[in-house]
A and B are shown apart, each in its own frame.
Chain A
Amino acid sequence: MTVTIREPIPELSADQRSFRADVRALLTRPEVRDELTGLAARPPGDEPVLLETYRLLGERGWLAPSWPVEYGGLGLGAVEAAIVTEEMALAGVPDDVHVLGVDIVGLFLLMEGTEEQKREHLPALAAGERVATVLFTEPGCGSDLSGLATRAEPDGDGWRLYGSKVYNMKSQYGEIALCAARTSDGPVPMHGITLFLLPLRSPGVHVEPVPSMADECFCLVAIDGVRLGPESVVGRVDDGWRLMNDLLQLERTGVDFHGKARRLLDLVVERAARSGRLDDPVYAVRLAELDAKLRASHALAWEMVHDLDRGAADPVASAMSKWYASEQFRPVLDAGMEVGGADALLSRWDEEAGTTARHEADYRMGPAHRLASGTSEVMLYLIATNGLGML
């Protein structure tokens, strides 16, 4: 399946255009396409983890191009990182491992980790050879992490962790996790949170799958007295709330969400063209309007990338970009159902399923985009409070 519509990015330099062409060329190589096509043939529950495609990107320094060379990157900037993210999304490369390992855990370590932590983990993450996951959300708290209950109790010069983390991804495959735990109590619930690097294959860590309607399951991670030394702390003790707020904003350009929505819409348009429905104004007008919104989303997301690249990230504008991009999934998926008709309901495991089979999986995944990386309501809250001075 070819992606039919690619946005121009007039702000890119010649070198950045060349970099994008190189990444795009790699992702259209036969072995990559074969691997991605093969994912669709996997049985339920067989999730993509460390793909060969990741290794191909990683050996070129492309999984984390903005990281310093000594940590497996290329010493480039946020633009090149966004190019990789966008091209992976447009090509349909599963990105959970990339987002978790590079965009979140890797970023936290890069910005706040010790030199030992960086050397131990960053090269492996940048090479696409290690899975790192994020353990923030708990059964009792999600968007508001000030309510987290996982405790880190002092134990000699270190801590013992007790608690449960849920709705995390890939923990069943992970080696390490960035885990938020409460290290002290006080009147302000945001205070007293610390981030730790938790080895997931330790005694005392129990990972249990939580099936979801999407292809990839959630995990419930029970942590029962795992001992961590001082070398496991990321950043400063009790400084976790600030780090989570500051650093999670950096991943929020909207480029990834736009890329996935654009890929979905392009597939829908392609199906509409093949079925003749693109010649029907009733369908064509609807798709053209969605195309317009995604074009606007792309322009806004890349403004965020360039702001980030020049060290001027705007959390309010980033929230706008994430909100706007993720709000497009529902109408795009609905349009796909209209264009495909009943055929769009067939899963890829049905023997009659044709080219619309992917839509069934995408539809099941749909609601996740408005929840991930900050829910739509949290984004609106950020815009209303910090941008408009309301609430």
Chain B
Amino acid sequence: MTTRTQPPARTLAGATPDEVRAECAELFHDDLNPVLRRIGDRPRGAGSRAAPAEDDTDVRASVWATLADMGVLSAALPAHLGGSEQAQRILVEVAELTGPGLYQSLLPDTLLAADLLARDGRHDRLLTEVADGRTTVALALRDRGADEPDAPGALEVDRDHGTVTGSRRFVPFAADADLILAVGAVDGAMHACLVPVDQPGVGVRRQDDLGRGDLYGVSLDRAALAPDGLVRVDRHYASALARARLRHAAYLSGLCRGALDLTVAHLKERVAFGRPLAGMQAPAHRLAALSAENAALLALVRRTARVADSGTDGIVLHAVQAALLANDLARTVSAEAVHLHGALGMTERCDASFFYRRAAVDAPRFGTGTGLRKEAARLLRAAHNADDPGRG
């Protein structure tokens, strides 16, 4: 049953993307980004029981509360819940700003989960709590590591008892979230299952991964669904995933910007053969080329966000293409950052190594490069065969 609720006190309705960017730039400031990059980083081999440092948890909570206070978490909700008509344009700006600090959070999951739940129309109260930052949702999109989010695999739902059984892995921040939204095929149709984390049927185990952050394996063993917690999403999953990919491409573009800035600054300081490395053509041209690629990526992201906000269907191919360019570029730029730092780039004290490890984890979040290419090829064929739909 739909419950009408009040929108959050602060919303971004009426705010322009430039205004929101300027405000968020204070939160994700160049001076703070080096600190932010190391938040939640665990020692190598810390294993499944490693919790983040207490200070890190506090900083994370503070940043999250600030985002909620700014209205970022409600931007993509329906208008009566405080959503903005320029939601995607705003959110890609916010996402881009989070990249240089490698900001690890539930932001991408929360926005996609809210997108899926909002279209169901039965979750206004929950969405208000999410927008206020009081309730957090982790998104569970894959079981096997090689699963692509376009086809997350099956879940077993007992409708009589309101439970779900299945396995999901590589779930960001599952231990910190109040709810898990597990997406998968139920009786042959794509559904999202909303599951409270704190219950006997839910097992959460930290995975010790390359990013040394917060990925979790989640086991669901007849876990109780939340009220109205079985949501059929097959009609709008593709478009919601496209919007998530677009925002994630913006984040990866920001990651590239951060890695490039870090590297340029290092090359201006580092002297070799009697002059700064920044004065040598080979590294300068390489960084110039990567900067240009990043500018093109961000232009595509911004344009596609504008199209998404216009309500026009047909951003799915564009978003997949932005995601695949971002996926490639994030890994390339971060690898070049390490290389151009020399052996220093390999060290734990150098942030280049953070960019390198995190890019590998973050880049395929909403699809591997190969999976995105296959999807882009399929969509290109479909667009061609349909004589140019959604274009011009």
Contact = CB atoms under 8 A, between A and B. Distances in A.
A293 B268 contact: no
A291 interface: yes
Given A269-B380, A285-B376, A293 B296 contact: yes
Given A320-B295, A383-B291, A299 B284 contact: no
Nearest to B304: A299
Given A6-B391, A289-B376, A292-B376, A317 B295 contact: yes
- What's the interface size class on A, roughly? 35 or more
Interface in B234-283: 260, 264, 267-268, 278-281, 283
What DSSP secondary structure best describes chain B's contact surface? helix
B288 interface: yes
B388 A6 contact: yes
B318 interface: yes
B321 A10 contact: no
Given A4-B388, A8-B392, A391-B281, A285 B310 contact: no
B388 A5 contact: yes
A323 B377 contact: no
Contacts of A141: none
A303 interface: yes
Given A295-B318, A390-B278, A5 B289 contact: no
B381 interface: yes
Interface stretch (A67-75, A210-218, A226-234, A273-281): A273-281
A289 B285 contact: no
A384 B381 contact: no
A11 interface: yes
A391 B321 contact: no
A80 B157 CA distance: 57
Contact of A320 (B268, B296, B383): B296
B384 A295 contact: no
A380 interface: yes
Nearest to B380: A288
B382 to A, nearest CB: 11
Contacts of B374: 281, 285
A353 interface: no
B377 A299 contact: no
Contacts of A319: 292
A291 B302 contact: no
A324 B295 contact: yes
A296 B296 contact: yes
A390 B325 contact: no
B154 to A, nearest CB: 25
A11 B309 CA distance: 12
Contacts of B373: 285, 288-289
A380 B377 contact: no
A11 B291 contact: no
Contacts of A324: 292-293, 295-296
A387 B278 contact: no
Contacts of B390: 8
Nearest to A278: B381
Nearest to B370: A285
A323 B376 contact: no
Interface string B281-318: 10111011101110111011011101100101000001
A389 B296 contact: no
B385 interface: yes
B378 to A, nearest CB: 8
Contact of B303 (A10, A289, A323, A390): A10
A295 B321 contact: yes
A388 B289 contact: no
B278 A389 contact: yes
Nearest to A322: B292
A306 to B, nearest CB: 11
A246 interface: no
Nearest to A303: B299
B296 A390 contact: no
Nearest to B267: A390
Nearest to B375: A288
Contacts of B378: 284
B316 to A, nearest CB: 13
A324 to B, nearest CB: 5
B324 interface: yes
Nearest to B315: A8
A320 B291 contact: yes
B366 to A, nearest CB: 15
Contacts of B380: 269, 278, 284, 287-288, 291
Given A320-B292, A390-B264, A390-B279, A278 B384 contact: yes
23 contacts: A8-B390, A10-B303, A10-B307, A285-B376, A288-B321, A288-B380, A289-B324, A289-B376, A291-B321, A292-B376, A295-B318, A296-B321, A299-B296, A302-B299, A303-B302, A321-B296, A380-B284, A380-B288, A381-B288, A388-B260, A389-B278, A391-B278, A391-B279
Given A4-B384, A321-B292, 11 more contacts: A285-B374, A289-B373, A295-B300, A297-B296, A317-B295, A323-B289, A380-B288, A380-B292, A383-B292, A384-B285, A390-B278
Closest 6 A/B residue pairs (Cβ): A292-B321, A284-B377, A320-B292, A383-B288, A299-B299, A288-B376
